[in-house]
Amino acid sequence: MISAFRRYLETWVVRGFFLIMVLAFISWGVGDVVRMIGTSTWAAKVGGQTIEGDQLQQAYQRDMAQVTRNMPSGQEPTQAMRSDIAHQALDRLIAQAAMSQELQRLHVVTPDQAVRQAIFAIPAFRGPNGQFDQATFQAVLRNNGLTEPRFVEMMRSDLAQQQLLTAISAGAATPDVLLHPLFQGRFEKRAADMVEFPFAAAPEPPAPTDAELQRWYDNHPDLYTLPEYRRIKAVVLSPQTLARDIPVTDADLQAAYQQRKSQYVTPAKRTAEVISVADEAKAQTLADQWRAGGDWPAMQKAAQEAAGSAITLDNATEREFPDPELARMVFGATPDSVVGPGKGALGWYVVRVTKVASGNEQTFDDVKDKLREQVLAEKAADLMYDRANKVDNVLGSGASLDEMPSDLGLVGVAGTLDAEGNTADGTAAPVPGPTELKTALVKAAFDTQKGDPPRLVEVQTPSTGGSAYYALSVEDVTPPGVKPFDTVKQQVATDWINDARRHVEEQAAAKLLAAVKGGQSLADAATVAGVTVRRTPLVTRGASMEGVPQQLEAPLFALKQGEPTMVETPEGFIVAVPADIVEADPKADPAGYAQVRQAVGRSIGTDLASVFADALRTRAAPRINQPVIDNVSGRGQ
């Protein structure tokens, strides 16, 4: 057998195979050839579609960026989180692939014009004038790691999916057997007879002894706690801290005002009915007919018979009218009066203004301070970037905050604060900069461990139209504690007295409740107790109404007719009994019934769409390549 094997090895076919293998090992290296054996780049196969690893990588990176932005400063996602995010991203891609295949099967297409309109309607892509802005559009895409062709394709796919899922949801039927109890629960009305036991009506208890106060203090330490405090040191870099290095003149502000004037000026608008004819005599005849009481439909017909036109221009600015002379006539006219004829570039006009919307203008002085902040932020952008790089380099060298150079435009702060950003005396800590920066810095102070090296963090500050930076270190942590008894003795005494009053009223209310449960009517039990019964107004479930304590609303709808309950409010105790129950009538409230039907229909439609999407995924029977997923999430490294 060995001889036969040797003869087989001496054939030219086998020799050629081994020659190829030797060349491959020489060219690529042994390790690379071994690693290539049995590997693949696809993350999943869905029907006839392949989801490549780079597609998953892009989706994963976008999701990771969002998760990282929402995490506390200095905290990194765990490997388990990374794996979950990778699987979620892949599940979304698989669902999209399955849906895409179904759309192709059904020949569902989305016109280019529909995609364009949908993109233009997205608020995030609007510029300062409130219209779609190409530069803003490109910036948002870059920030989210998307190219324009990729985003357009995503929008096209989303719109196609909406068409299909809307059609699926539209088939949702809402049976009356399901609607009726829901309608009853939503629109049933109830009123209660109730008796109040206010804390303020309780008699003054005898003065507590020191032993009683000490015992109260010992039993209620949570009422007298001190929050955790942190002593921090920080440096702040913002347009405001750089202000001394950035001159902003009145000329700069005036130029900025003119550039942004569309933001500060709301032009006047008018709605007008306009008749246009080529002949002055015909225009005069039409004007006289209109002034004599002709209505608009009649005037439209008369204008057509005179070989003219009659149109309505809705809510238009002066510049939006097609003829300057026509605009002058409209904006000079008294509302609801017929004006003309007047000669214009397009013929003779007769007009009537039917609606006026006054314009509004914020003057330069009105917005000067806000403009200064915006211009400062714009001018500071390049300088901030340079200074931030220098600060980052200094911190990266291991320097402490005390060793930061004085010529970088930094402002230092140091002190002790709690998680609300207040100092020990209850005042706000004097952190410089915009509100967004203060919020981020205080949060970071309680997310950072004592001794962690400072690092530079950028914070977006929409209030100033730019961003700012901070770096901080935690020098000391004072854990939560209990205030000493001597410092809160007066507060302890007040709390003790209030609790004694509460106890008196609670006993009185409990006694009345027991009497009603024992068979007495609320009115009789109230007479014995010397209190008054009050009836609340009718109220629906979950709808607050004056005269119905909020704490009573939920129990009221859980009680049977005549069944009592007792609730506590911030002002005292209440004993109540349902006094009036009015069932909801669909015939008497068709609008409410339709409202419930629509809400249930939307819910069922959403469930149908979800079930349909899950069914598509199951039918596609996706195959998963786990090693590629592990490689994307870093588990395989």
Domain boundaries, the chain: 2-37, 43-170+620-633, 189-224+487-582, 229-247+365-479, 268-358
Q: Please determine whether the domains at 43-170+620-633 and 268-358 fall in the same fold group of CATH.
A: no
Q: What are phi and psi of 309, to 5 degrees?
A: -135, 155
Task: Of 336, 196, 193, give the one whose Cα is nearest residue 272.
Answer: 336
Residue 36 confidence (pLDDT): 36
* Contact of 338 with 350, CB cutoff 8 Å: yes
Angle at 549 between CA 543 and CA 555, to 5 degrees: 75
E strand intervals along 387-535: 411-417, 457-461, 466-478, 481-482, 534-535
Pairing label, strands 534-535, 189-198: antiparallel
pTM, entire model: 0.50
- Three-point CA angle 236, 238, 244, nearest 5°: 105
How many Cα neighbours within 13 Å face the side chain of 447? 15
426: left (phi over 0), alpha (psi -120 to 50) or beta: left
d(CA 599, CA 518): 43
Question: What does the alpha-carbon distance between residue 471 and residue 466 come to, in Å, rounded to a whole number?
Answer: 18
- The ranges of the chain with pLDDT < 50 are 1-9, 13-14, 17-18, 21-39
Counted residue by residue, the chain has a size of 637
Sign of CA dihedral 110, 114, 116, 119: negative
What is the residue type of 331? F
Based on DSSP, count helices (H) and strands (E) in the chain, helices before strands.
22, 20
> Can you give the pLDDT at residue 637?
55
* Rounded CA Rg of the chain: 38
Class of domain 268-358: alpha beta
What CA–CA distance (Å, rounded) separates 264 from 148? 31
Q: How far apart are CA 391 and CA 407, in angstroms?
A: 11
pLDDT at 509: 94
Q: How is domain 43-170+620-633 classified at the CATH fold level? A: Triger factor/SurA peptide-binding fold (1.10.4030)
Confidence (pLDDT) at 5: 41
Alpha helices (H) along 107-219: 112-120, 134-143, 148-170, 176-187, 210-219
pLDDT at 636: 55
Dist CA 53 CA 629 (whole Å): 8
Distance (Å, whole) CA 428 – CA 411: 18
